Amino acid sequence: MFKYIFILLLLFIVISLGGGYLYINEKLDENLQLADTITLEIPINTSNKSIIGKVNAFGGLQPNWLFQYLMKYYSKYENKFAYAGYYKFPPKYK
């Protein structure tokens, strides 16, 4: 009986991880279609959450929770950061 519960639990975990991976890849591969070029200003000492909120104002980084975790990961483990400045996003952006 324990063997079947373990196999069922393991199967559930594998399916969940696979589904999560496919969902995240689908979200990252989507093309962003804008009506006009968007200019975005990121002030000095802006938090990751605030940056994502500004980009989401024109529908840029959806879903919000996914990009918050990605920004935390990149800043903590790969030393990549969002820098202050002015950014332009053309109508077709990928």
Look up the pTM and report it: 0.52
Per DSSP, 57 falls in state: T
pLDDT at 39: 80
The tens digit of pLDDT for each residue in 54-90 reads: 887 777 777 777 788 888 888 888 888 888 888 887 7
Question: 12 pLDDT band (50/70/90 cuts)?
Answer: very high
Write out the DSSP string of 60-87: -S-SHHHHHHHHHHHHHHS---PPSEEE
pLDDT at 2: 84
State which fold the 33-94 domain adopts.
Answer: Dna Ligase; domain 1 (3.30.1490)
Minimal CA–CA distance to 66: which of 28, 94, 33, 10?
28
